[in-house]
């Protein structure tokens, strides 16, 4: 059974190595230098630390990992690994490394680099936000607790083999090895950088950082020695930072910029969309995102399930979608449609003011009540919060909108009894990897319902938690479909308790110049946003 | 003079200490946990606690402040939480851009303000005066964002005379400096105008006129040097203001200065950077005021004798 899995994955590698299948309709061309803009500066390119959507794509391209995804899809394939096997009990993963892969400093990548890199990501001294992903590896607690610096569950019998031993079966483990935090880095370069590795990255990915002028630009040059032939396609990409999205768009229209990474400001969206070249410039795609309102189950009257259900019926999600100029679709369950386990037949709570009022009356709040709705203070989130406020008013709930800086909202959410309702816009969940389990633990599970946690509904259902653990233990790939179904049910069952109002699945919009080629799904890649490895220039 | 410098330096030190203390207390009183922000959304409580320990955030506030001060005295502003880089390195990397913009902006506002204010004073009550005053009123009250976008649209997008954004050449500095200058020039014009009117009414000007001196000589030789004093004080203030407060202009024109750095740090609760930028700005204000105090007596001998 696992041999067949191995055969399958090896075949998948062959597919991935061939010219990218997603772009079969249009053969990618080699060469060209492009300019990409972002509003925010790049904080760090250290894969153990970087965790925002802008640096995420760049880190993906600078380093390689044992596993990766086929461009534009959520399909896992071996990358730095040539092949792998999984033991029958799902606790031992053995990887054979691809031979002859070199870091950009010229040294060959060996098994001990993999061990070092993951231990570094887990080590509390690194202060990396990705440590928790490796929780299933044996010895994890010893490292996070400061008792050890090495993970007992990673062994390197020879330079070309890495063996992981898990303390519990974890069906998401292969995804974890494809996440940025599992990027392989050379120890000597990390140490030589003296804590500044994030500014002096050395990896074995598709690109090499050639120049970084702080606050201005970063120049990434094609790694000519990359282990997959003809990947990447562009010779270089320059990232100009500190660019106001509106200005970036004007520059794009003038041909000075190739990709406006922040997309199109809402005020300009329709104008661009309706312009002659608009449709060719806009890439508008689904991402693994859900925007939701948390209803704090530990705050009155949201401790009453009928009240939570009533609020679910009171929100006009179409209007929120309109505020975003249609760049979203109304949601009815926590999982986004692209995620395995999403239940197309589930309708959830439909918008019904009369029914909401009746439910509130049943719960003893015929005259409504007063509450507070938190939101971040950057456009368009306060406007969406106001729309929600109006919807609530229509059923008699008077909500005061408290629009604060993101850090303050996160803090209020993580403090028990503090925030009755939070509109998650701007900080909502975008999946780290395309697996339904990633939408549960921290935001809906009991483990997240702690001080400083991200389960801002403070919802804890022991029964669902047990089902979640059971689902994640199904690491046998043959049980994949069963596992996905189990997860899907967890998310639809949760809605009976209604700890959230799932509001929208936001789409991402990227603006690109007319000379750029490549399918839409490499500009809004489900696992890396812009896939710099797969985009190309039409000469 | 020496005594003045020493006294002002001592004052400057106390001011900076005060700024450091107040900013430190305010930032740490924020209901936001930097460790939580760094740890990310999937982190366990243990990870957050570990990070808090690594950053020393689990120590009493006074101990943390003491560490900060002792580091500060040895020239260490700490390390950025988000970027894991020396704060001083980050500030130094962005300082030239902000200083360039600041000097160019001040040059524009002074030249524009002095010229318009002087003309308005000479033509007091006339059409030109009213026009200048109206323009300065608009300049003073226009939002930076609007002026920046307007200039950008006209001179970069439509006419294509200047680049839309970026940094490095003289052409890049024109639009952002003009934005800052136009906005500041309104204040300068109003101030120069009233000071000039005041001076032009003085007896010695009347005497000079009676002696038959030319208008040009009276204005440039006698009136302007006397009217310029408040401007020098204002330039001192502007130095500080521009150092920390050009966020909008820097954002619109993609100018890689410390305003941008501060803005991002605020979003990320990156306290070491916020502290570093605040202290740098405070230092700039102190230096600006000190310079104004030192230059004023050189221009106006009456101050020296006081």
- Rounded to whole angstroms, the Cα distance separating A368 from B167 reads 56
Determine the residue of chain A that is closest to B166 in CA distance. A216
Instruction: Quote the tokens at residue A113.
Output: 């680099």
What is the rounded average pLDDT of the residues A135-163?
94
CB contact under 8 A, A247 and B253: yes
Would you call B155 an interface residue with chain A, using a CB distance cutoff of 8 Å?
Answer: no
Coil, strand or helix at A262 = coil
Question: Which residues, 6+ apart, have CB-to-CB distance to A4 below 8 Å?
Answer: none
- CB within 8 Å of chain B, chain A residues 225-264: 240-244, 246-247, 250-251, 254, 256
Contact B48 A452 (CB under 8 A): yes
Q: Which of A143, A145, A247, A432 to mutate to test the interface with B (most CBs of B within 10 A)?
A: A247
Question: Chain A window 164-183: which residues touch B at a Cβ cutoff of 8 Å?
Answer: none
Q: What are phi and psi of B67, to 5 degrees?
A: -60, -45
Q: In whole angstroms, what is the distance from residue A111 CA to residue A378 CA?
A: 45
For B252, which of A247, A412, A414 is closest by C-beta distance?
A247
Find how far residue A116's CA is from the centre of its chain: 24
Between CA A472 and CA A30 the distance in angstroms is 42
CB contact residues (below 8 A), chain B span 176-235, against chain A: none
pLDDT in tens, A53-85: 789 999 999 999 999 999 998 899 999 999 999
Chain B positions touching A246 (Cβ under 8 A) are 149
pLDDT at residue A451 above 80? Answer: yes
CA distance A359 to A352: 11
Range in A97-111, A173-187, B206-220, B288-302 the model is least confident about: B288-302
Tracing tokens 């449709």 back to the chain, one arrives at A279
The per-residue pLDDT for A192 is 96
B268 touches chain A (CB under 8 A): yes
pLDDT score for A3: 36
Strand partners, B279: none
Assess whether pLDDT exceeds 90 at residue A199.
Answer: yes
In eight-state DSSP terms, residue B221 is I
Judge whether B169 and B274 are in contact, CB under 8 Å.
Answer: no
The set of long-range contacts for A358-366, using a CB threshold of 8 Å and a minimum separation of 24, is A359/A306, A359/A307, A359/A309, A359/A310, A359/A313, A360/A306, A360/A307, A360/A310, A360/A395, A360/A396, A360/A397, A362/A306, A363/A301, A363/A304, A363/A306, A363/A307, A363/A310, A364/A304, A365/A301, A365/A307, A365/A396, A366/A396
Mutate to test the interface with B, among A215, A418, A433, A448 (most CBs of B within 10 A): A215
- Tokens 């490796």 sit on residue: A134
pLDDT of res. A9: 40
User: Tens digits of per-residue pLDDT, A10-48?
Assistant: 333 433 433 344 444 568 999 999 999 998 888 899 999
Cβ neighbors of A227 (< 8 A, separation 6 or more) are A64, A98, A100, A101, A204
Read off the DSSP letter of residue A332.
Answer: S
| Higher local confidence (pLDDT), B286 or A252 | A252
Predicted model pTM: 0.85
Per-residue pLDDT at B301: 67
What ranges in chain B are assigned the alpha helix state H? Answer: 2-28, 34-39, 45-54, 61-73, 87-122, 127-141, 144-151, 170-200, 203-210, 215-217, 224-227, 229-245, 247-252, 258-267, 271-299, 301-305
Query: Half-sphere exposure of residue B204, counting CA atoms within 13 Å on the CB side?
Result: 8
At residue A119, the pLDDT reads 97
Cα–Cα distance between B47 and A129 in angstroms, integer? Answer: 8
A296: exposed, middle or buried (C-beta count within 10 Å: 0-12, 13-18, 19+)? buried
Task: At A503, list the tokens.
Answer: 């509001």
Contact B260 A215 (CB under 8 A): yes
Q: What is the pLDDT of residue A21?
A: 41
Nearest by CB: B83 against A44, A135, A442: A44
B158 — contact with chain A (CB < 8 Å)?
A: no
Closest chain B CA to residue A254: B157
Predicted confidence at residue A8, as pLDDT, reads 39
pLDDT at position A426, please? 82
pLDDT beyond 60 at A209: yes
The per-residue pLDDT for A431 is 86
Cβ pair A496, A45 in contact under 8 A: no
What pLDDT was estimated at residue A441?
86
Higher pLDDT, A1 or A293: A293
Burial of A346 (0-12, 13-18, 19+ CB in 10 A): middle
Chain A contact present for B55, CB below 8 A:
yes
List of chain B residues with pLDDT < 70: 1, 244-245, 300-306
What's the confidence (pLDDT) of residue A54?
Answer: 86
The rounded distance, in Å, linking the Cα atoms of A322 and A338 is 21
Q: What is the pLDDT of residue A14?
A: 38
Is ipTM over 0.85? no
Q: What percent of chain A has pLDDT over 70?
A: 95
* B284 contacts chain A (CB < 8 A): no
Q: What is the pLDDT of residue A27?
A: 83
Tell me the nearest-neighbour CA distance from A243 into chain B, angstroms: 5
Tell me the per-residue pLDDT of A401-443, one tens digit each, with 9 for 90 and over.
999 888 788 889 988 999 999 999 887 788 889 999 999 988 9
Nearest residue of chain B to residue A55 (CA atoms): B83
Min Cα–Cα distance to chain A from B305, Å: 48
For the purposes of burial, counting CB atoms within 10 Å of the CB of A275, is it exposed (0-12), middle (13-18) or buried (19 or more)?
middle
Does the beta carbon of A408 lie under 8 angstroms from any beta carbon of chain B? Answer: yes
Rounded to 5°, angle at Cα A189 from B74 and A60: 110
Query: What average pLDDT score do residues A472-492 get?
Result: 91
Higher per-residue pLDDT: A293 or A404: A293
Instruction: Give residue B304's pLDDT.
Output: 59
At A6 the pLDDT is: 39
**Which pLDDT score, from 0 to 100, does residue A5 have?**
40
Instruction: Say what the pLDDT of residue A15 is.
Output: 37
pLDDT category of residue A386 using cuts at 50, 70 and 90: very high
pLDDT at position A18, please? Answer: 38
């Amino acid at each position: 059974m696992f041999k067949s899995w191995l055969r399958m994955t090896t075949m998948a590698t062959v597919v991935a190595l061939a010219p990218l299948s997603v772009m079969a309709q249009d053969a990618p061309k080699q060469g060209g230098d492009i300019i990409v803009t972002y509003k925010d500066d790049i904080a760090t390119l250290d894969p153990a630390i970087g965790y925002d959507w802008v640096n995420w794509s760049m880190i993906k391209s600078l380093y390689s990992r044992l596993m990766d995804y086929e461009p534009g899809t959520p399909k896992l394939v071996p990358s730095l690994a040539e092949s792998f096997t999984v033991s029958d009990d799902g606790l031992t993963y053995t990887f054979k490394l691809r031979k002859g892969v070199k870091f950009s400093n010229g040294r060959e990548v060996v098994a001990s680099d993999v061990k070092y890199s993951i231990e570094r990501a887990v080590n509390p001294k690194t202060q990396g936000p990705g440590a928790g992903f490796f929780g299933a590896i044996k010895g994890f607690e010893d490292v996070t607790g400061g008792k050890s610096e090495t993970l007992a569950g990673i062994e390197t019998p020879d330079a070309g083999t890495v063996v992981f031993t898990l303390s519990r079966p974890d069906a998401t483990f292969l995804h974890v090895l494809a996440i940025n935090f599992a990027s392989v880095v050379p120890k000597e370069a990390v140490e030589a950088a003296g804590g500044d590795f994030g500014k002096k990255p050395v990896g074995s990915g598709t690109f090499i950082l050639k120049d970084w002028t702080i606050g201005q630009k970063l120049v990434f040059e094609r790694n000519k020695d990359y282990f997959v032939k003809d990947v990447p396609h562009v010779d270089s990409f320059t990232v100009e930072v500190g660019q106001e999205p509106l200005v970036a768009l004007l520059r794009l229209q003038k041909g000075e910029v190739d990709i406006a990474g922040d997309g199109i400001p809402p005020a300009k969206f329709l104008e661009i969309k309706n312009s002659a070249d608009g449709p060719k410039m806009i890439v508008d795609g689904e991402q693994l995102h859900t925007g939701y309102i948390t209803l704090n189950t530990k705050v009155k009257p949201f401790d009453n399930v009928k009240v939570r259900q009533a609020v679910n019926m009171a929100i006009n999600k179409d209007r929120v979608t309109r505020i975003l100029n249609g760049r979203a679709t109304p949601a009815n369950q926590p999982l986004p449609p692209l995620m395995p386990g999403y239940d197309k037949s589930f309708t959830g709570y439909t918008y019904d003011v009369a029914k909401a009022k009746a439910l509130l009356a049943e719960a003893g709040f015929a005259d409504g009540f007063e509450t507070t709705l938190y939101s971040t203070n950057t456009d368009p989130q306060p406007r969406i919060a106001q729309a929600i406020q109006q919807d609530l008013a229509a059923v008699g709930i008077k909500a005061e909108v408290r629009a604060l800086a993101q850090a303050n909202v996160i803090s209020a959410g993580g403090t028990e009894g503090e925030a009755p309702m939070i509109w998650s816009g701007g900080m909502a969940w975008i999946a780290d990897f395309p697996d339904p389990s990633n939408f549960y633990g921290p935001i809906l599970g009991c483990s997240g319902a702690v001080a400083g946690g991200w389960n801002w509904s403070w919802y804890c259902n022991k029964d669902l938690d047990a089902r979640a653990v059971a689902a994640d233990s199904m690491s046998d790939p043959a049980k994949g479909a069963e596992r996905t179904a189990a997860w899907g049910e967890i998310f639809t069952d949760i809605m009976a308790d209604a700890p959230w109002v799932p509001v929208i699945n936001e789409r991402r919009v990227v603006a690109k110049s007319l000379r750029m080629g490549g399918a839409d799904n490499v500009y809004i890649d489900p696992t890396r946003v812009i896939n710099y490895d797969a985009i190309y220039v039409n000469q | 003079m020496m005594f003045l410098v020493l006294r002002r330096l001592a004052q400057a030190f106390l001011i900076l200490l005060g700024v450091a203390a107040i900013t430190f207390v305010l930032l740490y009183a924020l209901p936001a946990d930097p460790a939580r922000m760094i740890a990310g959304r999937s982190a366990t409580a243990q990870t957050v606690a570990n990070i808090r320990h690594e950053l020393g955030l689990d120590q009493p506030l006074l101990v943390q402040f003491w560490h900060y001060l002792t580091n500060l005295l040895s020239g260490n502003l700490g390390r950025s939480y988000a970027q894991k880089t020396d704060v001083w390195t980050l500030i130094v990397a962005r300082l030239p851009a902000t200083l360039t913009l600041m000097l160019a902006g001040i040059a524009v506002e002074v030249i524009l303000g002095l010229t318009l204010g002087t003309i308005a004073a000479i033509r007091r009550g006339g059409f030109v005066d009213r026009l200048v005053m109206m323009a300065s009123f608009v300049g003073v009250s226009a939002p930076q964002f609007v002026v920046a976008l307007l200039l950008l649209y006209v001179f970069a997008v439509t006419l294509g005379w200047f680049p839309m954004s970026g940094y490095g050449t003289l052409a890049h500095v024109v639009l952002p400096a003009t934005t800052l200058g136009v906005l500041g020039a309104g204040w300068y014009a109003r101030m120069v105008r009233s000071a000039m009117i005041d001076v032009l009414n003085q007896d010695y000007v009347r005497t000079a006129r009676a002696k038959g001196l030319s208008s040009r000589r009276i204005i440039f030789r006698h009136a302007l040097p006397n009217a310029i004093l408040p401007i020098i004080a204002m330039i001192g203030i502007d130095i500080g203001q521009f150092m920390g407060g050009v966020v909008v202009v820097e954002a619109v024109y993609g100018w890689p200065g410390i305003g941008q750095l501060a803005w991002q740090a605020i979003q990320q609760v990156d306290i070491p950077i916020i502290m570093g930028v605040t202290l740098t700005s405070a230092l700039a204000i102190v230096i600006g005021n000190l310079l104004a105090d030192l230059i004023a007596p050189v221009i106006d001998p009456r101050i020296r004798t006081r």
